[in-house]
Structure 1
Amino acid sequence: MTMTKSKVLFASAVLEKLEKAASLPYKFAKLLEESPLKDMIAPGNIVAIKIHVGDMEHGGYRTIRPIFVKILVDYVKRLGGIPFLTDTWGLRHAIVGMENGYNYETVGAPIIPVSGIKETDLVRVRVPNPLRLEEAEIGSAVFYADVLINFAHSKGHPASGYGGAIKNIAMGCTGPNTRSAIHNLEKEDTIGRAFQEALADALHAAILNKPRKVFHINYVMDVAPTCDCAPWSDIPLVPDIGILASDDIVALEKATLDMINQAPIVPSSIAEKAGLKPGDNKFLVIHGKDPYIQIEAAYRKGLGNLDYEVIKV
C-alpha cells in the first residue's frame, strides 16, 4: 500500500512578475489562506505563535522580518483567534524581542514568555516512545494554548547542523532543565545524533496535547550558518528561497533541507569558502553534524511522513 505524500505549501521568494501579487508578503498571505489553519482555529481560541525573537545583545539581525509575523497575526485574527508571540528565556528575552521589532505596535500581538518571567511556569510531560528523554518540561504558555503555530527561521546550528521547525519547538518551548539535558547529550557522539534525537523527544512532548492543532512554518530566508541566539550575523549560505509550511513537521523539514542543499551558493559566504556546491549536504560539511538525523528521528517517533509533495502557491 502506497503512503500518501504529505503536502508542503511553498511561497517562493522569486519575483516572477513586477507586481505586488508576486511579492513574498502577498504569496505568504495566500499560503495561509490555502493552509489547514482555518480548520484548526475556532473563534475565541488562544493561539501561540512560537518565533525566535533574536539574541540578547542585538548583534544579530537575520531573524524573521516583522512584516511576515504581522501577516500571520492578522490572519489568525481574521479566523477569530487570539494570537500571542512567545519565546524562551523569560521576561528579559521578551523585552529584547520587543526591541527587535516584535511588539504590539508593529505586529499586532503581545509577546508572552513561554514559561513565565523567570522560566518557572512549566508542565512536566512524559515523552511517548522516548529516544533520549523520558520527560520534558513544557512552557505553560504553549501547553495551555488552544493552537500552536510554529514559525521557525531555517538556519545552521553547531550542535545539530541545522535548526528549523523541530528545534524551534524542542528548544524554544521547553524549560531550562530540559534544554540543559538536551545540550548535555552533545558529548555523546560527534555527528549530533543524541542531541537531535532528544530534539525529537522534546518536540513530541510539546505537541502531545494538541492533535491536529499544530501548524509549522519555515522561513527559508537569510539562511545563516548559525543560530539566531548568536550575537552576530553572517552572509547567508544560499539565496533566499521563500516560506514553506505544513501540518507535517517531518515533511516540512525534509523539503526545507532538500531545497537548501539543492540551492546555489552565495559568494563570500562560509559555504563558498568551504567549496560547497548545489547538491551537497551543506550543514553537515559546515558543522560536522548531519541535520537529517533529527528528521529521521521524528519520523521514527511517528510525527510525520518523509514523502512529501511541494505545492507552490
Structure 2
Amino acid sequence: MVKQDVTILNKIIYKYARITNPEDNQPEQIKKIFPDISPVKKGDIVAIKIHPGEYGNTTHIRPVIVRTVVDMVIKEGGIPFVTDTTTLYKGMKLNAAELIQGAAMNGFTHASTNAPFIVADGLRGGDGREIKINGDVLDSITVASGIAEADSMIIISHGKGHPASGFGGAVKHLGMGCLDRAGKIKVHEVGKPSIDPEKCIQCGDCVEVCPWGAIYPPRIDHSKCCGELSCADACKNEAIIPPANASFKMQKRLGEAALGPIKALKGRIGYINWVYDLTPGCDCFNFSGERFVEDIGILAGTDPVAIDAATIDLINERMKINGKSMYHLWGVDPSIHLEAAEKIGCGSRKYSFGNL
C-alpha cells in the first residue's frame, strides 16, 4: 500500500471560473498552478492522461489546456506524451486506430498539443502490467503499459456527472481510464446483466451496441459479456436488467483499482480537475447534454481523493440551491468510489483550499 503524507497532499488549489482580467485566463492559471503539483523530474517520460471525448461530444476538455500542461512539462525538462486508453463499448475508442482518429477529430493532434498522442494499452487494449493492490475485493489490477512504464504523470480530468459512478474526475481516471482492457473488465464484470423475456421484443438494439457478440435475445452469454451495460442503455423497453447492487459493487472496484496506477508510478502524479461545462453525462457520450450547474473553475493537487472530494463539494454547494446534489443526476452516490479509494490508500477525503 502506498503511504501518503496527508499534511502535504491535501492542499487543493482552487481558481474560481470567473475571470476579471485577460491575464487570468485558463492557460495562465495552469502555468501558476503547475509548479505546486508537478511530479516531473528532468529526463522523465511524462504521461499526460486525458479523455479526448467521443466524436460528437463538444464539452470535453479543450486542447489548449492540454497544450499548456505539455509546455510546462517540457519547461521542466520532461518528455511528454498525451495519452488515453481503449474502451469496452462501441465508439471511436474501441481500438487504438479509431481512438487516435477520434482524438484528432476533436482537436487533439501533435500540432495542437505539442506532443504525440499515444494509446497506452496498445492496438486492441491488451497491453497492460499487473499491479498488486491487495484490496477488499481486488487483489490486483492491470494498468495500461504506456502509463505503468512512464516516469511520472499529469492527469487532467473534466469534472462532470457519470451514470455509473455519479461523478467522473481524478479517481475515475485512475481506476478506469488508466487501465488496459483486462483491468476495465475486472471492474465491470459485476455488472453482467440478464434479459427479462417478457419485456424483450427482440428488436436487436442491444445486439448492435455489444462489441463482444454476447447477446442472443432473450439470452446473454456471460462468458463473453464484460458487464459494461451499454446494452441496458440501448434497450428502450428496459428489458436488460443489471444485477442487484451492480453500481455499488462496480464503484468499490473502481476505487480500489485507482491504487494500481499510483503504485506503478510510485505516487508521482499531479492532478488537475477542469470543472467547466458540467453535463450529467460523461465525455464517452457522443453528444453533450445541457449544463446542470454553472462553471466551477480549475482545481489542482497531488491527492486524487481530496481533489475529487473538493470538486464534488463545490458542485453540491451550487446544486443545493435547488435542493439537489450530484446524487440526483443518476441516482448514484459518488462517495462510494471515493470511500473505497481512501480506504485502500489512494488519498484522503479531507482537504483544505490553498491560494493560487
Correspondent of 2:170 among 165, 170, 184: 165
Deviations 1:163-193 (A, max 9, x none): 1111112211112222122223244544832
| Aligned residue number for residue 308 of structure 1 | 351
CA displacement, residues 82-136 of structure 1 (integer Å, 9 cap, x when unaligned): 00011111232122112211111011011100111222221122222x1322221
Q: SS state of the match for residue 69, structure 1? A: helix
TM-score by length of 1: 0.88
TM-score, scaled relative to structure 2: 0.78
Distance across 2 between alignment mates of 1:92 and 1:164 = 24
C-alpha separation between the residues in 2 aligned to 1:214 and 1:88? 17
Query: Which structure is larger by alpha-carbon Rg, 1 or 2?
Result: 2
SS at match of 1:232: coil
Give the letter aligned to residue 12 of structure 2.
V
Structure 1 distance, partners of 2:165, 2:303, is: 20
Unaligned runs of 5+ in 2: 1-5, 87-95, 192-241
Tell me how far 1:24 sits from its aligned partner. 2.5
Distance in 1 between residues matched to 2:112 and 2:149, nearest whole Å: 25
| Native 8 Å contact 1:13 1:23 kept in 2 | no
Matches within 5 A, 1:1-313: 4=7, 6-15=10-19, 17=20, 19-33=21-35, 35-37=36-38, 40-55=39-54, 58-89=55-86, 90-128=96-134, 130-186=135-191, 187=242, 189-190=244-245, 192-264=247-319, 277=321, 280-282=324-326, 284-313=327-356
Contact 2:37 2:271 in 1 (8 A): no
Q: Per the alignment, in what secondary structure is the counterpart of residue 208 of structure 1? A: helix
Once residues 238 and 41 of structure 1 are traced to their aligned partners in structure 2, the CA distance between those partners, rounded to angstroms, is 34
Cα 1:98–1:147 change in 2 (3 A) is same
Write the deviation string for residues 189-217 of structure 1: whole angstroms up to 9, x where unpaired. 44832111111222111221222411111
23-32 or 252-261, which moves further after superposition?
A: 23-32
Distance 1:210 1:113 in 2: 18
Q: Which stretch of structure 1 is more off in the superposition, 188-197 or 98-107?
A: 188-197
> CA offsets per residue over residues 53-101 of structure 1, 9 Å max, x none?
111xx22111001111111000000000000011111232122112211
Q: Letter of the aligned partner of 2:188 in structure 1?
A: H
Alpha-carbon RMSD across the aligned residues, in angstroms, is: 1.8
d(CA) in 2 for partners of 1:151 and 1:160?
18
Quick one: structure 1 residues 168 and 210, their matched pair in 2 at CA, closer, same or farther if it must change by over 3 Å? Answer: same
Partners in 2 of 1:165 and 1:220 — Cα distance?
Answer: 12
* TM-superposed deviation, 1:279: 6.3
Task: Name the CA distance, whole Å, in 1 between partners of 2:329 and 2:246.
Answer: 12
Q: Does the residue aligned with 2:258 lie in a helix, a strand or coil?
A: helix
Q: Structure 1 residue 36: deviation in Å?
A: 3.3
Number of residue pairs aligned between Structure 1 and Structure 2 = 291
Separation in structure 2 between the aligned mates of residue 135 and residue 111 of structure 1, nearest angstrom: 28
